[in-house]
Amino acid sequence: MQATQHTVKKTYYFQGKGLHTGTYSHMKILQAPPDSGITFRRTDLRSRPEIPALAENVSNTARSTTISHRETVAVTIEHLMSALTGLGIDNAIIELDNIEVPILDGSARPYIEAILKDGILDQGIPRRYIDLPKPLEIRDDRRGSWIKIEPAAAPSADITVDFNSKILGIQNVHWDEKTDYAKEIGVCRTFVFFHEIEYLFRNNLIKGGDVDNAIVIVEQPVNEEQLSSISYLFNLPNVKITDEGYLNNIQLHFPDECGRHKMLDLLGDLRLAGGYLNAHITAYKPGHSINTKAAKALRALLK
């Protein structure tokens, strides 16, 4: 990553449904001045209120990361935050005309492809890396997950993803500054287990899910009636289960694409600490809840 601060070279436009609310949004990524960080601006609200993308503004982590300030909300920000982090963008304003960031293809790929065509703008100001005064560990004993953050000369991360799944197995993923984020992490899509889909729909989640933006893992036996129901929900004809245990809506980019997507999420969530960490991160069973708790703990430690 760059030793100086960067922003985007021009304004980028995106539009689409939100994964969880199903609302349709138009979104822009704009330049921002040095030392301003990442800010979300709701253009559909009268005063165009802004929400700094910082851990103290996290208000919900149910299947995605939501930030809010007073009554202003931005939902499912993690893929965009990950893309900005992976591409080395320090400062940007995100304009959003609805409550949720568009899910697009379920990864960071659309942002990456758009921005990399132009490159990024060097702002000539030294990047402010976050240096930890001491190691930090966050645990969630109920979920059996933990994150360790240790001071280091440069950012890196190792995660272990374990859903007790015979399909996924245990997936280990590494990232550091030499990793080609755009090709190896950013293209990896979100995923869901087949048996969770009905529950998520009942609880007003994944309203914007469709066949183009989610890997569906079939962990438990299903019958033809269940397949027909999913076919109807996703508008997917001839839905089948592959020999590997996934719905045939999409093909995997990597055998461990789900683990790599968890790395994508982790990088986006930890960016809420306020910048780039000179730290080595080790995480077991990471998720939005513990990721953002770690970012909050980092912010508190630095204060």
pTM above 0.85, yes or no: yes
3-state helix, strand, coil in the chain (%, to 5): 25, 30, 45
Count, in order, helices (H) and strands (E) of the chain: 7, 18
Q: What is the pLDDT of residue 1?
A: 47
Catalytic hit among 6, 79, 280, 288: 288
> Any catalytic annotation for residue 174?
no
CATH entry 3.10.20.30 includes domain 4-128? no
The per-residue pLDDT string of the chain (303 residues; one tens digit each, 9 = 90 and over) reads 458 999 999 999 999 998 878 899 999 999 999 999 999 999 999 999 999 999 999 999 988 999 999 989 999 999 999 999 999 999 999 999 999 999 999 999 999 999 999 999 999 999 989 999 999 999 999 999 999 999 999 899 999 999 999 999 999 999 999 999 999 999 999 998 888 876 666 665 555 555 567 898 998 888 888 888 777 776 777 788 888 989 887 889 999 999 999 999 999 999 999 999 999 999 999 999 999 999 999 999 988
Q: What is the pLDDT of residue 208?
A: 55
Q: What is the pLDDT of residue 63?
A: 85
